[in-house]
């Protein structure tokens, strides 16, 4: 009986019969339940942010009615890297390096069960990114208003509100830098303007803003801007479109949070175009619409990513090589560039065939023949350009030499001239040497 279960428990009877009668015997089967001893593993902390060259520590504990073991691994089953120690469930890194970042798993085991918890170690300083909600707010005089600022980054950024009419927060504004809130209990027309939230940590300082519009009776402008956040690469075009409703039609004007609009910018009819863009053009831009009844504003953010790409280079090695027919030959194309260039192999004046095997930058010619002789070109290409390099392959054939002397027999008179011709074949072409065979 295999894989006994509790349902198999009971009395089993064996009966024997023949022509003279029968007899029985019985046996009792008792099934005991398998022992279940749960184990529960906990680790503190679950996620840890640590600057480089600092210490980091995770503490692993387990609850179990019976004896258990604790083991730390890199990821799920990997070995711990150098500089990481595990003692009595405590994982310690005294001097964090880049290689130490990632996930670690603590596994607890007893005689019957196991449990595991995975934690994450994040290293280094992350520049802050700031988010303000809402991007703009229009309220009536006497209403309340609230803006919320949040930021990501490590170490945790410090938040601070600034701005407002004249560049200073009004006395009525309540700023809670701890939770990033900027609150007005009862707004006034004088509170109207742009407000900015700044986040700072060891990595950098970042700022973004919002616009508070306080409307009085009348048809104040209402602004719509697309997009609110735009990311472009250096030298690309940046285009924002600002439209506004109001009576009378409002006047639309673009400005920059800090300083003048870039020299490469053009603004008209609500459009702001910057081309070509430069990294220093990144930042906050404000579209303002004004008429006799009020002002509305909308802040947008432009991010210009610096172009760090590098044109490709290519080098084929060996540049020249000679192999015998039937052998295999390999050409290696070494390329550099950012982003990584794509690699393409061609043959001058011919196509690659089935015996040409390509793997990334390697070209292998299997069982080379005379048809495989020639120049092979490696082409490396990325968005910065194209570069090519050449390699030449020569294939030699080995044919044993043969020699034929004509005529094979010749009789002449003494003093006459004799001409013997030796015809040879072979690859490479054989050298010829005449010798006289002296017969005794």
DSSP string of 35-77, one letter each residue: P---EEEEEE-SEEEE-TTS-EEEEEEEEESS--EEEEEETTT
pLDDT digits (tens, 9 = 90+) for 383-413: 889 999 999 999 988 778 899 999 989 899 9
| Distance, CA of 57 to CA of 121 (rounded, Å) | 9
| Cβ proximity of 319 and 332 under 8 Å | no
d(CA 90, CA 72): 9
Q: Tell me, what's the pLDDT at 28? A: 94
pTM over 0.75: no
Question: 439 pLDDT exceeds 80?
Answer: no
Contact indicator for 175, 169 with CB cutoff of 8 Å: yes
DSSP output for 219-273 = ---EEEEE-SEEEEETTS-EEEEEEEE-SSPPEEEEEESSSPPPTTEEEETTEEE
Q: For residues 333 and 197, what is the distance between their CA atoms, to the nearest angstrom?
A: 52
Instruction: Output the six-digit token pair for 103.
Output: 């996930």
Cβ within 8 Å of residue 187, ≥6 positions away: 139, 141, 142, 143, 144, 145, 212, 214
- 3-class DSSP state for residue 368? coil
- Beta strands (DSSP E) in 246-361 are 251-256, 265-268, 271-274, 283-291, 294-305, 310-317, 320-324, 329-338, 342-347, 356-359
Which tokens go with 224? 């719509």
State the Cα angle at 418 between 414 and 422, rounded to 5°. Answer: 150
Q: Report, as an integer, the average pLDDT of 256-277.
A: 93
178, pLDDT greater than 80: no
pLDDT at 26 over 90: yes
Question: Whole-angstrom Cα distance, residue 175 to residue 160?
Answer: 8
Q: What is the pLDDT of residues 46-75, one digit of tens each?
A: 988 888 889 999 999 999 989 999 999 999
């Amino acid at each position: 009986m295999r894989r006994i279960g509790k349902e198999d428990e009971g009395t089993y009877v064996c009966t024997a019969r023949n022509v003279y009668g029968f007899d029985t015997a019985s046996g009792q089967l008792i099934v005991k339940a398998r022992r279940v001893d749960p184990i529960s593993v906990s680790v503190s902390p679950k996620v840890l942010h640590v600057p480089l060259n600092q210490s980091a520590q995770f503490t692993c504990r387990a609850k179990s009615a019976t004896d258990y073991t604790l083991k730390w691994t890199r990821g799920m089953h990997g070995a711990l890297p150098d500089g990481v120690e595990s003692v009595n469930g405590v994982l310690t890194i005294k001097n964090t390096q880049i290689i130490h970042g990632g996930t670690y798993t603590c596994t607890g085991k007893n005689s019957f069960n196991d449990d595991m918890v995975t934690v994450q170690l994040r290293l280094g300083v992350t520049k802050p990114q700031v988010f303000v909600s809402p991007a703009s707010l229009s309220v009536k005089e006497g209403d309340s208003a609230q803006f919320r600022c949040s930021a990501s980054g490590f170490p945790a950024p410090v938040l601070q509100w600034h701005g407002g009419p004249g560049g200073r927060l009004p006395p009525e504004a309540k700023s809670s830098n701890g939770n990033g809130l900027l609150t007005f209990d009862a707004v006034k027309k004088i509170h109207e303007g742009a407000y900015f939230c700044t986040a700072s940590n060891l990595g950098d300082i970042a700022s973004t803003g919002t616009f508070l519009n306080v409307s009085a009776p009348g048809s104040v402008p209402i602004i719509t801007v697309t997009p609110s956040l735009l990311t472009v690469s250096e030298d690309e075009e940046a285009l924002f479109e600002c439209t506004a409703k109001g009576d009378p039609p409002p006047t639309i004007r673009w400005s920059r949070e800090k300083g003048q609009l870039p020299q490469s910018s053009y603004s008209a009819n609500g459009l702001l175009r910057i081309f070509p863009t430069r990294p220093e053009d990144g930042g906050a831009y404000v579209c303002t619409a004004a008429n006799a009844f009020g002002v509305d504003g909308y802040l947008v953010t432009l991010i210009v990513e610096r172009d760090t790409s590098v044109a490709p280079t290519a080098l084929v090695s060996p540049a020249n090589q000679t192999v015998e027919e039937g052998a295999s030959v390999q050409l290696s194309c070494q390329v550099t560039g950012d982003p990584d260039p794509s690699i393409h192999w061609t043959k001058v004046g011919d196509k690659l065939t089935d015996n040409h095997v390509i793997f990334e930058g390697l070209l292998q010619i299997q069982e080379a023949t005379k048809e495989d002789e020639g120049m092979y070109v490696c082409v490396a290409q990325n968005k910065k350009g194209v570069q090519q390099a050449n390699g030449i392959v020569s294939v030699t054939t080995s044919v044993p030499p043969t020699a034929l002397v004509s005529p094979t027999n010749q009789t002449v008179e003494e003093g006459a001239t004799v001409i013997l011709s030796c015809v040879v074949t072979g690859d490479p072409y054989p050298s010829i040497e005449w010798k006289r065979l002296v017969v005794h």
